[in-house]
Amino acid sequence: MRRTLPPLNALKSFESAARLGSFRAAGNEMCVSHSAVSYHIKQLERHLGLALFNREPRALSLTAAGRSLYATVRESFNRIADTAERLVAPQRGEVLTVQLYSTLTIRWLIPRLPDFETRHPDLRLRLLTSQWDVDFGRDEVEACVLIGHRQYADLDYTYLFSSEVFPVASPAFLARSPLRSPADLAHAPLLQVHPSRPDWQYWLDRAGVEGVDPDAGLSFDSYDHALATARQGLGVALAMEVYAADELASGALVEPFAPLRAAHPADWWFVCRRTHVDSPKVRLFREWLVNAVLTDSRLQRRPMEGL
């Protein structure tokens, strides 16, 4: 029996508008006018006999039927894209797109990449850096490394390691402004990382320090920038061992309150869609990454229930 499918262009417009939350943004993505997107979606709604969007003057949201259809269409488009990628990969070589935080990429991953390239010369990595976590429903990313918690049922999480946070400063800064106790931070410029803004306050709370404003000093978009600024003697930064291990070992940065550290409430994970978990290229990178973590004695792993 021949199946009657909705018009493909209408489905493409629907998927883009649902993902982006805007007919205009969908039109820009598809290089058509927003009125063309609106027409395609009305065509799809007529075909189904259902309203897919709640249209309000300044908002666009999916109806219950729209949410159900979007989940299926998004999954189907992802599977089509994956199959197409596998078909053309032998002709052009495998490419895996992975998103990571810039500091982790610069300070930990890049020095280890020659080992990965030696082991897997036919798999090319396309690394994207961002301070913000991936939205797998929107971003063109196959996997990522993030610090957080397992929270989405359609994603696969592989535990990597856990971190502690702690203040660091340069020897020159400490010579000018001695920090004899955490309370002395009330008189020191603190270097903030605004995408990770809760981290400073988390450490201060665990250390029992009151009256310190972690937002009073310079603010940066990455730990790398904050640590580099601390190395220049311009303030006190918060660090993680995965980020500051080399500078602590060389003496470029000093931990003034050692061993007063706070276990970060979130863990590090390698994350991909569940539909990608058995992809050969995802599996190869995941296995290599886990092994790289296990062979780095500076990284801490804790027992994880259910793993």
Average pLDDT over residues 96-104: 94
Residue 85, pLDDT score: 66
Whole-angstrom Cα Rg for the chain: 24
Give 238's strand partners: 167
As a whole number, the mean pLDDT across the chain is 89
Listed in sequence order, the DSSP H helices in the chain are: 8-20, 23-30, 34-48, 64-92, 102-104, 113-119, 171-176, 198-206, 223-231, 241-250, 280-294
Q: What is the share, in percent, of the chain residues with pLDDT greater than 90? A: 61
- Rounded to the nearest 5 percent, the helix, strand and coil shares of the chain are 45, 20, 30
Residue 135, pLDDT score: 83
Average pLDDT over residues 288-299: 94
Task: Please provide residue 18's backbone torsions phi and psi, each rounded to the nearest 5 degrees.
Answer: -65, -40
Q: Are 135 and 152 in contact (CB under 8 A)?
A: no
Residue 228, pLDDT score: 95
The domain 8-86 is classified under which CATH number: 3.30.565.10, 1.50.10.20, 3.40.50.10490, 1.10.10.10?
1.10.10.10
* Per-residue pLDDT tens digits for 221-231: 899 999 999 99
Pairing of strands 143-148, 262-273: antiparallel
Task: Specify the residue for token string 């488009």.
Answer: 77
Q: Give me the count of residues in the chain.
A: 307
In the chain, where are the structural domains located? 8-86, 93-307
Sign of the CA dihedral with 291 first, then 302, 166, and 271 last = positive
Q: How far is CA 164 from CA 27, 112, 258, in A?
A: 45, 22, 12
- Distance CA(71)–CA(216), nearest Å, equals 44
DSSP class of residue 169 equals B
Over 60: is that where the pLDDT of 126 sits?
yes
- Which tops the pLDDT comparison, 35 or 138? 35
Over 90: is that where the pLDDT of 241 sits?
no
- Distance CA(177)–CA(128), nearest Å, equals 39
- Distance CA(174)–CA(7), nearest Å, equals 67
Q: How far is CA 286 from CA 94, 128, 139, 245, 262, in A?
A: 15, 16, 20, 23, 28
Task: Assign 82 a pLDDT band (cuts: 50, 70, 90).
Answer: confident
Residue 125, pLDDT score: 94
Listed in sequence order, the DSSP H helices in 56-193 are: 64-92, 102-104, 113-119, 171-176
Average pLDDT over residues 51-59: 84
Burial 21-46 (b: 16+ CB within 10 A, else e): ebbebbbebbebebebbbbbbebbbe
Over 90: is that where the pLDDT of 124 sits?
yes
Residue 158, pLDDT score: 97
Residue 41: which H helix or E strand, with range? helix 34-48
* Per-residue pLDDT tens digits for 197-219: 999 999 999 999 999 999 888 99
- Distance CA(202)–CA(195), nearest Å, equals 14
Task: Assign 88 a pLDDT band (cuts: 50, 70, 90).
Answer: low
Q: What is the share, in percent, of the chain residues with pLDDT greater than 70? A: 95
Over 50: is that where the pLDDT of 306 sits?
no
Which stretch, 91-95, 150-154, 290-294, has highest mean pLDDT? 290-294
Over 50: is that where the pLDDT of 67 sits?
yes
Over 50: is that where the pLDDT of 186 sits?
yes
Q: Specify the CATH number of the domain 93-307.
A: 3.40.190.290
Q: How many CB atoms lie within 10 A of CB 190?
A: 23
Over 90: is that where the pLDDT of 134 sits?
no
Lowest mean pLDDT among 10-24, 100-114, 141-155, 162-176: 10-24
Average pLDDT over residues 119-133: 90
At what angle are helices 241-250 and 223-231 packed, to 10 degrees?
20
Residue 235, pLDDT score: 96
Over 50: is that where the pLDDT of 91 sits?
no
At what angle are helices 8-20 and 23-30 packed, to 10 degrees?
120
What are the structure tokens assigned to 187, written together? 């008189």
- Which tops the pLDDT comparison, 137 or 225? 225
